[in-house]
Amino acid sequence: MKHIYLNLKRFDVPSEYGGVNRLAPTDSWARTIVGGVQKELEKYALQEVEFAVYFPEMHVLQAVSAKDEGSPLKIGCQGVYRADTSVGGNFGAFTTNRPASVMAAAGCETVIIGHCEERNDKAGILAEAGVTDTDAVSRILNQEIKCAIQRGMSVLYCIGEKSEEQGAWQEVLGRQLEIGLDGVDASKVVIAYEPIWSIGPGKTPADKAYITKVARFVKERTSGMDVVYGGGLKQDNAAMLASIEEIDGGLIALTRFQGEIGFYPQEYLDIVRIYLENN
């Protein structure tokens, strides 16, 4: 099966506030995106492809309500809390946090966990507390994954190595897999590989050989779990990624990187088309 994921991060922030949203007002942004892509994605109904979109939390209800009956889109959220509510237990005393229960109740079918930005945030908080255990973040993410799966959601679990970790990439990624997936139903999880060292302006993108060797490593370590490229599926790398047998899809974010940068539905559909036509 192929998987094409879309992580909209905080792409809802209007450009006049320093964001990249020139697409639609905040109160109709999610509806514009869902309405702009779901019909076109129906043409891939005969192919085994999972299409999921990870929205900022405030847009989930709007996105779910915009789905047509039989829509190929899965609506997802950008993380869940490491603890959850339970009948006769915690009723929701999680100020600022989003338990898996409420995201599932809102209509989320899937969640992205462990994105490099989430890992960096958690690592920074732990560092402020004096924690030096490099495995601590993955242990927290493991709790989040379990909460999401318990609520019936599938999980996109992100792993990746930084520049200073490249020399030990097998150890770093191996630990993230071992700890993050400990006690987890692997059938509910897809792995996203993010070469953190290659992401961002001025950095050299990971090439086909590097992505292939890492994807092969992940499949060997996980007994063949699906692996997608989390370093950015774009128009200029879609055909290359589609040619890698060990890669099962990709994670899209921005669709335009020059001029009025941002996310645009038609450009997203172009990326999907290029990837699937070359697969």
pLDDT digits (tens, 9 = 90+) for 196-233: 999 988 889 999 999 999 999 999 999 999 999 999 99
Helices (H), 42-158: 60-66, 100-105, 116-128, 136-150
Q: Are 51 and 109 in contact (CB under 8 A)?
A: no
Q: What are the catalytic residues?
A: 115, 194
CB atoms within 10 A of CB 168: 12
Question: What digits encode the pLDDT tens for the residues 101-120?
Answer: 999 999 999 999 999 999 99
Q: Residue 199: left (phi > 0), alpha (psi -120 to 50), or beta? A: beta
Phi, psi of 111 (to 5 degrees): -150, 145
Counting the structural domains of the chain, the total is: 1
Domain interval for residue 152: 2-277
**Predicted confidence band at 128 (pLDDT cuts at 50, 70, 90)?**
very high
pLDDT of res. 129: 97
How far apart (Å, rounded) are the C-alpha atoms in residues 150 and 90? 16
pLDDT of res. 206: 95
Q: Are 250 and 194 in contact (CB under 8 A)?
A: no
pLDDT of res. 202: 80
Question: What digits encode the pLDDT tens for the residues 174-184?
Answer: 999 999 999 99
Question: What digits encode the pLDDT tens for the residues 240-268?
Answer: 999 999 999 999 999 999 999 999 999 99
With tokens 């128009």, the residue in question is 235
How far apart (Å, rounded) are the C-alpha atoms in residues 162 and 195? 7
pLDDT of res. 55: 98
Predicted model pTM = 0.97
pLDDT of res. 68: 97
CATH number at residue 69: 3.20.20.70
Amino acid at 165: E
Q: Rounded to 5 degrees, what angle do the CA atoms 102, 138, 76 make?
A: 30
Per DSSP, the three-state class of 244 is: coil
Residue 53 neighbours by CB under 8 Å, 6+ apart:
5, 6, 8, 33, 34, 63, 73, 74, 75, 76
